[in-house]
Amino acid sequence: MSRLAGSPYQDYLYAYPHKTAYRPLRPRPALREVWAGERSDALFLYLHLPFCEHRCGFCNLFTRANPPAEQVGAYLAQLARQADRVADALGAGANYARVAIGGGTPTFLTAGELSDLFDLVARFGARLGSVPMAVETSPATATADRIAVLAERGTSRVSIGVQSFVDAEARAVGRPQRRAEVEAALATIRSYPLPVLNLDLIYGIPGQTERSWRASLAAALHWRPEELFLYPLYVRPLTGLRRRATGGSSSGGRDPEWDAQRLALYRIGRESLLAAGYRQLSLRHFRRAGPGLDVDPAPEYSCQDDGMVGLGCGARSYTAGLHYSFDYAVGVRQVRAIIDDYLRRPAGDFEVAEVGFRLDDTERRRRWLVTSLLRAEGFRPADYRDRFGTPVEEDFPELAELTGRGWLDAGPGLLRLTETGLERSDAIGPWLVSGPVHAAMAGYAAR
C-alpha cells in the first residue's frame, strides 16, 4: 500500500536529503576542492548557535540549554577560526545573497556577544544591511539591548517562536513562558525598525481546542506580523515530549484522532490567515500581501539550489553535488559531546568536509522536484526540462498517482499541489524520498 494512504503527518521534509542520511566522508574532501567550480556569487550564509535558555519539549534541533558562559565564549572564538579557514577555501570571489543566524537561539548571546558575532559575519564577507538577514529569537531573550543590536547591524527579519498564546498550551509542549512575557517581547521587537517579523505557532497541542487555537491566531494577528509559520505538532524520538509520552501520538502521527484534530486546526488557521490578507507559500508558511502591506523584499531563493555555506557545529553546507556538516544528534549527552568535540578541533579540521551525502544526477533531480513541488506556487515543467534535459513526468512517473488522487493539478504549463494536496505535504514529501535515501535514514541510529 502506498504510504500516501497513511497519515497526512508523516514527517517535515525541510531539506533533501535529511541529515540522518549523512555519513562520515572518508577520505575527508578538502573544502577548496568541494567548492572548486561551484557558482559562488550568490551564496546563502548560515551561522549556527547551538544554545538556548531552555529546550522545549517538542524540539529535536541540535542545541544545548544553559551552557556555561565560558563555553559560549569558546564557541564564538572557534566559530571565528572556522570562518577564517572556510573563507580561504572559498576564495576571494565568494559573495552572499542572504544571511541567516539560527540555532538554538542566537539571542541567547548577550548584546555584546551578538555585536561580536555580526563583526564576524561582516569579516567573512557578507554585506550587513545590504542583503536580507534573518535572526531567530525567543520570548525570554528578545530584550531591548539585544534587539537594538539586531536592528543596528542590518537585520531584516526576526523570527520568534511563540507556539501558543495560551499559557497552559505552552506548558503542555514543555515551554515555560507566560503570555505577558510573549507580548512584551513582541512589543520590544515592534519598537525597532525591523522590516519583517515572523511568528511561529503550533497546532495539535494536547488540550488545544478550536476556540483556543482561534484565540492564538487572533493574538498573533494583532501584531500584524509580515510572516507566520503554522506548524503541526510532532512528537519525535529523544525529545522531552517523547520521554513523557505513554503511547498514542508518535513521530509518524499514527493516531487517527490526532491526525483529524491537526487537519481541522490547520484548515482553521489557513482560512483565518487568508481572510486576514496573507498568501500561502507552503503548508506552513504564510506571508502578508496586498497594496500597502510590507512584505519581504528579498528575491525568492533556494539555498539547496543556489548553494549554502554553513558555519558552526550544527550547520549544513550545500553544493550542487555534496551536502555536508559535522556530526548530528538530538540527545542531550550526545549534543554536548559534539559541541565539546567542535571546540577541541584544530583549525585544519575546518578545511575539510566531515560528514555528508553525495548527490548523483538522479538525486539532484529529486531534490529539485521535492523542494519545488512542496511550494504552494508549484513549478513549470519547462523549467525542469531546461535544467535537466528530460520531461519531469518521464523521470517521475509516480506523479500520476498524485494527479489521480486529486492532489496535483497538472494544468497547462504548471504543476501545482491542489488545496488537498498541499495539506498533505508531510506525506507527499516522504513519499518522494528515494530508496537509497530512505535506506540511509532507516540505518541511522537515533542518539
Tens of pLDDT, residues 252-309: 446 999 999 999 999 999 999 999 999 999 999 999 986 545 444 455 556 666 799 9
Measured over all CA atoms, what is the biggest interatomic distance in the chain, rounded to whole angstroms? 59
Domain stop point among 288, 304, 324: 288
Could you tell me the pTM of the whole model? 0.94
Examine the domain organization and report whether 73 and 187 are in the same domain: yes
Measuring CA to CA, which residue among 374, 358, 359 is closest to residue 426? 374
311 within domain boundaries = no
Split into its structural domains, the chain has a count of 2
389 within domain boundaries = yes
Per-residue pLDDT tens digits for 135-145 = 999 999 999 99
Return the DSSP state at 295: -
Examine the domain organization and report whether 282 and 173 are in the same domain: yes
Helix (H) or strand (E) holding 411: strand 408-411
Examine the domain organization and report whether 163 and 266 are in the same domain: yes
39 within domain boundaries = yes
Domain harbouring 129, CATH code: 3.80.30.20
51 sits in the region (left: phi over 0; alpha: psi -120 to 50; else beta) called beta
Measuring CA to CA, which residue among 413, 436, 416 is closest to residue 425? 416
Give dist(CA 300, CA 379) in Å, integer: 13
54 within domain boundaries = yes
Examine the domain organization and report whether 365 and 284 are in the same domain: no
pLDDT for 253 equals: 44
400 within domain boundaries = yes
Residue 213: count of CB within 10 angstroms of its CB:
26
Domain stop point among 288, 311, 334: 288
Residue with cell 487517527: 256
pLDDT for 29 equals: 98
Instruction: Say which amino acid occupies 379.
Output: F
Give dist(CA 60, CA 238) in Å, integer: 7
327 within domain boundaries = no
Q: Determine if the peptide bond prior to 430 is cis (ω within 30°).
A: no
Examine the domain organization and report whether 382 and 258 are in the same domain: no
Q: What is the β-pairing status of strands 43-49 and 96-103?
A: parallel
Owning domain of residue 416: 361-442
Q: How far is CA 338 from the centre of its chain?
A: 21
Examine the domain organization and report whether 283 and 365 are in the same domain: no
Give dist(CA 272, CA 230) in Å, integer: 12
Domain harbouring 438, CATH code: 1.10.10.920
| Spatial contact of 150 and 194, defined as CB atoms under 8 Å apart | yes
pLDDT for 56 equals: 80
Strand partners, 160: 137, 199
Q: Residue 22: helix, strand or coil by DSSP?
A: coil
131 within domain boundaries = yes
Domain stop point among 225, 254, 288: 288
348 within domain boundaries = no
pLDDT for 304 equals: 61
Residues of the chain with pLDDT under 50: 1, 246-253, 292, 294-297
Q: How far is CA 11 from the centre of its chain?
A: 13
